Chain A
């Protein structure tokens, strides 16, 4: 221990107060936008008031209000017994989905197939859907004067026309509408 201020309680426990002491800069609920930013990234920026290194910042984000966009198709009474009704979930061609570049954060529209009868390439099945939220920044960035809160409903889909598995997202009132977050800082 080369520096710091020790504070004891009456039982002898102590805490060393150093520049790593934390404070809550900002917290609360945040309504997520319905559209992308001008550079086709997504999220809400919260100013830190100064510039900090990555390891001086802590961000916690949880999705709290969300919806999903999907279509369900039921075969019907598959064996005539009136008790077996298989169904599948598909991406909804009325919804706006995006893919996301994990390095840059840029989001690109992805169009779901139209579930056209007789056209197998238009049936984009959904394997799973779940809400996600995080602090989002490009991999190359190491100092920050603001924190970007990112959130979306994620879908693992089979893009039939591209013969590929993809992760796609819906945003705002079509995905994650609200998050709860906390931003911590040290070295202030």
Chain B
């Protein structure tokens, strides 16, 4: 190694500081925006070049996010069998605003569950919270967009397709914990 700054402790352990060392740029818990809008992206944005620094390459950024508070909108149908048992099926309800999400652009589009008749109900396979760095196929970044939502795996009866749909904000994931690491840090 021909460059770097070597730091030693009293027991002989040493650290070689090079440009590859990381800075913990930001972290903690934030509240996600309370609602989404069809035709727009949805995110919590954190500026990583607040003083006009150069953009960071994707390889120089690490982002980890975890959802913290989750809300869901479901309905359950009980089939009474012989007046003894209640076999249940789960469907998405229609009191929240649901969206599909374009994975390339991050743009949300309204999706409306069909509650017109029981035969049209959209069945639920699973529901769970998610949160992640929404890169939208970019390769360099001035800011970090973190998407979070309640994710529903459903069968869309009217379209005869399986879909992943989301609710967001106060109807989905309210808070996230996150950490942003930067390599080749330019700030402060």
**Alpha-carbon distance A88/B78, docked complex (angstroms):** 10
How many A-B contacts are there with CB distance less than 8 Å? 153
Q: Identify which of A20, A57, A75 gathers the most chain B CB atoms within 10 Å of its CB.
A: A20
Residue pair B24, A120 in contact (C-beta under 8 Å): no
19 pairs, CB–CB < 8 Å, chain A vs chain B: A2-B188, A7-B5, A7-B17, A8-B3, A10-B2, A13-B184, A15-B18, A15-B20, A18-B188, A20-B24, A55-B26, A73-B85, A88-B87, A88-B88, A125-B90, A127-B124, A128-B128, A133-B66, A156-B127
A21: nearest residue on chain B (CB-CB)? B23
Chain B residues touching A, range = 35 or more
Shortest A106–chain B CB gap in Å is 14
Residues of A within 8 A of B (CB): 1-5, 7-10, 13-22, 54-61, 73, 75, 86-88, 90, 102, 117-118, 120, 123, 125, 127-128, 130, 132-135, 137, 156, 158, 160, 165, 167, 184-186
Q: A88-B89, A125-B90, A134-B66 are in contact. Are A117 and B84 (CB under 8 A)?
A: yes
Q: Which residues of A contact B69 (CB under 8 A)?
A: 102
A117: nearest residue on chain B (CB-CB)? B84
Residue pair A120, B80 in contact (C-beta under 8 Å): yes
- 8 residue pairs, one from A and one from B, having the closest CB atoms: A58-B179, A22-B24, A125-B88, A15-B19, A186-B24, A58-B27, A20-B23, A54-B28
Residue pair A75, B87 in contact (C-beta under 8 Å): yes
Q: Within 8 Å of chain A (Cβ to Cβ): is B120?
A: no
Q: Within 8 Å of chain A (Cβ to Cβ): is B25?
A: yes
Residue pair A13, B22 in contact (C-beta under 8 Å): no
**Alpha-carbon distance A59/B179, docked complex (angstroms):** 7
Known A15-B183, A61-B66, A133-B66; 8 more pairs at CB < 8 Å = A16-B187, A16-B188, A57-B28, A73-B85, A88-B86, A134-B68, A134-B177, A158-B74
**Alpha-carbon distance A106/B69, docked complex (angstroms):** 14
Shortest B9–chain A CB gap in Å is 12
Residue pair A60, B81 in contact (C-beta under 8 Å): no
Residue pair A158, B76 in contact (C-beta under 8 Å): yes
**Alpha-carbon distance A118/B24, docked complex (angstroms):** 58
Task: Find residues 66-109 in chain B having any chain A CB closer than 8 Å to their own CB.
Answer: 66, 68-70, 72, 74, 76, 78-81, 83-90
Partner of B21, one of A8, A21, A61, A90: A21
Shortest A148–chain B CB gap in Å is 12
Q: Which residues of B contact A60 (CB under 8 A)?
A: 64, 179
Q: Which residues of A contact B90 (CB under 8 A)?
A: 125, 127
Shortest B75–chain A CB gap in Å is 9
Q: A21-B21, A54-B28 are in contact. Are A120 and B127 (CB under 8 A)?
A: no
Residue pair A128, B84 in contact (C-beta under 8 Å): no
Q: Within 8 Å of chain A (Cβ to Cβ): is B186?
A: yes
Shortest A20–chain B CB gap in Å is 4
Q: Which residues of B contact A19 (CB under 8 A)?
A: 188
